[in-house]
Amino acid sequence: MKHILSALCLLTASFWSQLYNAQNTDAYIEVLGVAQDGGFPHMGCNKEGCNLAWEHPELRRNVSSLALVDPVQKKWWLFDATPDIRQQLHDFSQRHNQEYPYLPEGVFITHAHIGHYTGLMEFGKEVMNTKQLKVYVLPKLKSFLENNGPWSQLVSLKNIEIIPLTADQEVSIGNSLTVKAFTVPHRDEYSETAGFRMLTPKKRFLFIPDIDKWSKWNKSIIEEVKNVDFAFLDATFYDQNEMGNRPVSEVPHPLVTETENLFQKEPAAVKKKIHFIHFNHSNRILWDKAIQGKVRDKGFNIAEEGRQY
């Protein structure tokens, strides 16, 4: 039964993918994963949510990642190379009946935390042995990849070609598609942390899977959300109950409840642009329908794996 349910989930995603592509030639975002760096269920986790996901494969979720898809060019771009990249690329190919290349045209990386860049290893000679796959990164991450193994071997063997990004400058990737990287405050042990704004001829998307607090950023997240059509925002932790006795001020992420409160006075048209993503394995949004309902009742959305926006 578990395997049947998993197959039905994939078939449902494939059906909506085919229906969307048959009716639309506009570029769009497809969600490839919604979980925090360790995925869901999490390694070593035997708490309620993880136990449910171990027992019910349909509840399992890949690590947070997006695809920008262009039906006209039949090309796509990956945002963050996660530890789940093997499954994510396979699922993407299956959902689209192999109409797109298996490999993305390029990969945009937010930062050097394990859930966001370590999937690059799959492009090495031991696995895919890719040829100059474009990897777009900000300067500190470029230096990190070029000067630290095993990533430096990907560069020296030309499995990947690093394309340097400049914060707040748009990069054209063809067919009137542009991507702009910008920096956000986060734990920057090995690199700066980027967010991305993706612009298509008809839609604007915002992707910030990791940030310390909205108040620490030199930009207004409210204004940023107002200026896009869809915003995929850091929702690592739901509320203070996940923290135990740990002060909220010490949590390097905005709680979902904090973001909800920040947008409380904004109109419904603004709130609905927000699609929460990057859920820690302790975040009940992953499995608790009552919590999911509370989020949606307040006017917000929850990013769904396999869905297109």
Fold of 26-306: Metallo-beta-lactamase; Chain A (3.60.15)
Check whether 10 has a pLDDT greater than 80.
no
Check whether 18 has a pLDDT greater than 90.
no
Find the mean pLDDT for residues 291-295.
98
Question: Do 29 and 198 contact (CB within 8 A), yes or no?
Answer: yes
**DSSP, res 286:** G
Specify the pTM: 0.91
Per-residue model confidence (pLDDT) at position 244: 73
Question: Do 160 and 130 contact (CB within 8 A), yes or no?
Answer: yes
pLDDT bracket for residue 204 (50, 70, 90): very high
pLDDT bracket for residue 247 (50, 70, 90): confident
pLDDT tens-place string over residues 99-148: 999 999 999 999 999 999 999 999 999 999 999 999 999 999 999 999 99
pLDDT bracket for residue 150 (50, 70, 90): very high
Buried b (16+ CB within 10 A) or exposed e, 269-279: eebebbbbbbb
Per-residue model confidence (pLDDT) at position 2: 47
Per-residue model confidence (pLDDT) at position 118: 98
The two three-digit tokens of residue 284, written as one number: 């009940």
Check whether 186 has a pLDDT greater than 90.
yes
Please name which of 290, 297, 300, 279 lies closest in space to residue 235, comparing C-alpha atoms.
Answer: 279
The domain locations on the chain are 26-306
Distance from C-alpha of 87 to C-alpha of 83, rounded to nearest angstrom: 9
Per-residue model confidence (pLDDT) at position 15: 53
pLDDT tens-place string over residues 268-286: 999 999 999 999 999 999 9
